[in-house]
Chain A
């Protein structure tokens, strides 16, 4: 296990330090305390950032293949809503099954029917949205979080939020898959050149389906724990996770066209985005400036990455 640090990851870390410094100097200047770097506050940020972390982890699995999953927001929402509507242990299992099923459908659409992932997952997203409108139409299903969700999303042990532990476990699994199993090698290979992978005997369809299932499963787990965090499942709870999760993966140095990228980069990307958002909200910045700064930082970082890299015509 080498501790090689890529350029994007290094730049990401530098940006994290800059954000921490800026946030801290702001709180020292206005409140006289270094609230921003207090362990309590940072743990709070991690607690909330873990949900984005899980979503982004799944997103990375499909981006590595050169695909994208736009159905993540409503996969997350659907699994949480279905799970809470059924309730109890069966509900939790059903929520995870929803995730796996959505992933299977996405994977079949992309790998077997060869519809561009962008448009197929978009359609699946709309269908899921429609299903949830049907579920809640006419009567109000149960929406309270189950015990497991509360345990995963809200509770803490020794001040460590369980959501962070779940994120860490999920990360460990994915790192193992990516670096230590043939499946992981095949994913990178397909992202680089699918035809070459196919000719080398890789069963590319199965690999693509597996990646989409991993992505949706991650979204489902994020949905269950997010519902626990807010104590209930509600419509559109996943909408704010789509674009930041893509941004986190790309800021972490994963090529949006697939084929390269390290998991540690995605973690750095997630932490960067969470800290950036929390710094902007601690400064009580208007939503308008928040959006502008958010967009500008992404562009700035990507410009720094691409500097010095030769154009691959």
Chain B
């Protein structure tokens, strides 16, 4: 189909200084865990987006010098010629598809702990980072300022040589240039502190120096948080925010606007449970619309709807639609709009799993919606292209249409299997997503700082996308309301059987803390519930509710939020040091805590339930089991262990002769039925099996390319010799 003319505006080119951006789709800098040390990952991931139509793609934050080292979190680095070579691979990939390559030059100041380089970061004032532990910067005198600005210039020159078209001086998220600008960090009394012009001086000078160095060849961009969201103690959009844009408008070719900082960057990368599409507009929208800049503006807000994109450009909010997460979830979003295939767009669900792995430090980025994200190079997966399976003549039965089963069926369908039957016991496909997506909203009204407790409704997009794709696949049949027994499966006539029957919550309080059930726990009783029973609403829940959360992610907290929003008095217990600790990584935790606090949920860390009896829960402190605590309760919700629904799989495997007799060549188990896990990993599991269904041993993942330095490489030998020669001195006696 052809593009709807109303979207033409999204495909108009726009000039960025000396460069032309071919359309209005722009992948803003975002982390993926590749940096400069996994050049294949970096090049193929960004290159995939260029293939999918994005007009420009940027690196993640890219350190200009070992003094800005964020280890264990993975940044890009452009410290030397080796980095130039590795990042040039990314530039080449982008240029192959006519996209521009951007690099986000970064100096973190005290926010970069330098654990690998062991360097000392410099900063405008000697104030420790507000979120790193005890990292103090060295106060910068004029020589230091000159030195660091020269680092920017040197890095920019290397970036140009690598082939980058857009060079950022990155300040947003409270890194060094912003630290100079903001009185929250800057307490100087010299010409770099005090007045607005003084505080802005470092950033402006840096921009000018970089511009002088590479401005003829590259577009100069700056990423700026127009509001720090800290009130008058820092940058507010109506004050220094607008002022700074006007002050530096002449020295940039492109503005990239955000809000907030890195300490709570969930205000920028807003999770869907608190923020809706284009949520930064109240701040970032003021600049262009208020006529405070003459330069092109890009901005984000998890924008996946092409109508929203058009409205944003027409209203003068942005000129260019920026995206990080939507581009991960669907690298082909621009092409799909261009081709009129809107219903094929794989919309970001805002779960922030992509961010979580980077936050953990080390693992590659993942995506719930797009299992191929991060796998473009190392596994050779393409989100839109599928090789015909060598065993496409086989018939496949997939039992269970949860995340893993849906994904597996979809990918097998796209791989051209002759017949795929996806059979689901419930009335609708989607599995656990169908009830999980009803969690997480509280009363849904009162504003929480900037967001609202919207809940996990957008997670339903997991099902929406797959349902639409499955509907289109003529070789896939989906049958619901059909619970298959082992006998049914044996007689189904499939050569390949995939069991994707999911998992369930323990009914007896079995948990990861004690590895035992909790005495008195029994969710068949009317006053005890598993989380899915809370959503189902089939049991009356009393006024005082104890929620025991044992899985460190969203479940316990979401249940507490829901119940407290409905007027229950909720105590939330965890054996860990904090509830929902994984939500720190998904950036949901700060807003979650605000909501739980607002709702009066009592949070009890390091507390475990010892036994339950009707009316009272007996608990203890995990550091001193003699320290008992009793909770008077009417109901209890046990978010404890999950257990695979693997009876069907076990029964099928128990009689191999029968399998053979029925012509069943293989039985696989995926997702929660194999082992309970996060949705993102269940979908990956289903995808992986389908991608490798024709490998010699599909149950065993094929090896992936590991980008690591091989012993015997000679590229660093010269430097090594230099180091060894320099250290070769007599004993200092």
Say whether A and B bind each other.
no
**A interface residue numbers (CB < 8 A to B):** none
**B interface residue numbers (CB < 8 A to A):** none
